A and B are shown apart, each in its own frame.
Chain A
């Protein structure tokens, strides 16, 4: 269970990006976080694995306080938090297998990491997961030779290699074409239930948020202003979140049954 309470983040002396945010995620629910650019979605996710230092507040993952961890303790906690990025963040010049195995860096020794002598169990797990998402035949290809959707699958597998207790996805589909982005979303949804894994997804595409997630959290100016199921997420909620800002997805309202139209919002 992830429990965030009264989380605040400010960069320097500027207006806080997150203003006393509370959020609890339990079980294997897939939660999408929607909001305009600059609402603080990315900062929120990065506070959880401390790629960004929170200014104040508490973040607990399965009872472990994350905010005060230092050094080796922090690294041990990060192993349990998988993360998927908008730009995939793969190491282009390494092979797919090396990229996948890098998810185990928190577990193996420096010697094993440098010499690529990973334990057989890690290699088995890597092949198993790559087969699951359909990229096992690319094991020895360089990561930069894959298409966008395949690269994001590599990134997902890398995150799952960590044996995470939660998966964070920061706009995982924003760099992908509409069809591929749907595939990645349904993959994340399926993996969450298969592995009993809570998943937090920052997403711009409101239609996809409705289709693939169990719960939608709406953010605006660093505060949570909506929290509910996809069915509760109506025009009022959309206006509240994007009000005054041209919603990137308003067309999706009327044609949400035609998924091909989603591309317009990406």
Chain B
């Protein structure tokens, strides 16, 4: 008898209940997000003022450029080779030097190691300002200060890398297992000794992985430095474009691709060794 009654009740309830995935509030929010996105896209397309005839003409231009680029001109291979080497040197030197600067910065930018609030904010300010300025803009700045050349390029890559390495290392420091830290404190070790024993061994693998990754990125960044006169293969590229030596341009582009692939291959092997 009781069972029957329950069943009747249940059906009665089912009829009254309604269900929808989103509440009215959520539906309105979603609609607003769609509308804003659409508006932003339409606005952007209308505002950027594309000269459409050139766009329609692009296939012809591509064909013509390809014809002018072919066959590749390898006569300047010596110059290209040494410019490539210079590019790699810029990447290597700046990555190496950055490591020394980024480590103290990451130490004060990590919440669990920073001495106090002021140092924490100084650390974060350094990281943010380094990261928010692109390498090529740093290069423009340093070319203006030191004149064109490799030095400006090295400094530009360094200033951008400090933020990258510093931020990732800071995160690695914040993610360490705190138990060894506690144990080292319990032995009566000073703060620096705690860092040397409980923190450094834990972040070592992350450190090498980050340095290798940044070296790889820096090779690619160094290839464009020359466009603003800061050394490397980019100088040659810019010169060839300016003189319409398209066959040389094509060779340089090919060389850059080969270099980047090589860098990628080397770093992926190294990364496997570290991890």
Question: Is residue A128 within 8 Å, beta carbon to beta carbon, of the partner chain?
Answer: no
- Whether the pair A91, B201 counts as a contact (CB closer than 8 A) is yes
In the complex, what distance in Å separates the CA atom of A102 from the CA atom of B202? 15
- Whether the pair A89, B179 counts as a contact (CB closer than 8 A) is yes
In this complex, the member of A51, A92, A102 whose beta carbon has the largest number of chain B beta carbons within 10 angstroms is A102
- Whether the pair A106, B182 counts as a contact (CB closer than 8 A) is no
- Whether the pair B187, A91 counts as a contact (CB closer than 8 A) is no
- Whether the pair A113, B185 counts as a contact (CB closer than 8 A) is no
Question: Is residue A49 within 8 Å, beta carbon to beta carbon, of the partner chain?
Answer: yes
- Whether the pair B198, A79 counts as a contact (CB closer than 8 A) is no
CB-nearest residue of chain B relative to A168? Answer: B186
Q: How large is the interface on A (under 10, 10 to 19, 20 to 34, 35 or more residues)?
A: 20 to 34
CB-nearest residue of chain A relative to B191? Answer: A75
In this complex, the member of A82, A87, A91, A104 whose beta carbon has the largest number of chain B beta carbons within 10 angstroms is A91
Question: Is residue B184 within 8 Å, beta carbon to beta carbon, of the partner chain?
Answer: yes
Question: Is residue B27 within 8 Å, beta carbon to beta carbon, of the partner chain?
Answer: no
- Whether the pair B188, A83 counts as a contact (CB closer than 8 A) is no
Query: Which parts of A52-93 form the interface with B (CB within 8 Å)?
Result: 75-79, 81-83, 85, 87, 89-93
State the Cβ distance, B246 to closest chain A Cβ, in Å. Answer: 54
In the complex, what distance in Å separates the CA atom of A94 from the CA atom of B180? 11
- Whether the pair A79, B188 counts as a contact (CB closer than 8 A) is yes
B residues in contact with A89, CB < 8 Å: 179-180, 182-183
B residues in contact with A105, CB < 8 Å: 184, 187-190, 193, 197
In this complex, the member of B180, B188, B189, B204 whose beta carbon has the largest number of chain A beta carbons within 10 angstroms is B188
Q: How large is the interface on B (under 10, 10 to 19, 20 to 34, 35 or more residues)?
A: 10 to 19
Picked from A90, A93, A158, the residue with its CB within 8 Å of the CB of B187 is: A158
- Whether the pair A91, B190 counts as a contact (CB closer than 8 A) is no
Contact bitstring A219-230, B, C-beta under 8 A = 1, else 0: 000000000000
B residues in contact with A81, CB < 8 Å: 186
Question: Is residue B67 within 8 Å, beta carbon to beta carbon, of the partner chain?
Answer: no
Query: Which parts of B161-207 form the interface with A (CB within 8 Å)?
Result: 179-180, 182-190, 192-193, 196-198, 201-202, 204
In the complex, what distance in Å separates the CA atom of A114 from the CA atom of B196? 7
B residues in contact with A93, CB < 8 Å: 201-202, 204
In this complex, the member of B185, B186, B197 whose beta carbon has the largest number of chain A beta carbons within 10 angstroms is B186
Picked from B183, B190, B198, the residue with its CB within 8 Å of the CB of A110 is: B190
In the complex, what distance in Å separates the CA atom of A81 from the CA atom of B202? 25
In the complex, what distance in Å separates the CA atom of A83 from the CA atom of B189? 13
B residues in contact with A91, CB < 8 Å: 180, 183-184, 197-198, 201-202
Question: Is residue A28 within 8 Å, beta carbon to beta carbon, of the partner chain?
Answer: no
State the Cβ distance, A172 to closest chain B Cβ, in Å. Answer: 13
In the complex, what distance in Å separates the CA atom of A106 from the CA atom of B204? 24
In the complex, what distance in Å separates the CA atom of A113 from the CA atom of B196? 8
Query: Which parts of A19-40 form the interface with B (CB within 8 Å)?
Result: none
State the Cβ distance, B107 to closest chain A Cβ, in Å. Answer: 15
- Whether the pair A162, B188 counts as a contact (CB closer than 8 A) is yes
Question: Is residue A149 within 8 Å, beta carbon to beta carbon, of the partner chain?
Answer: no
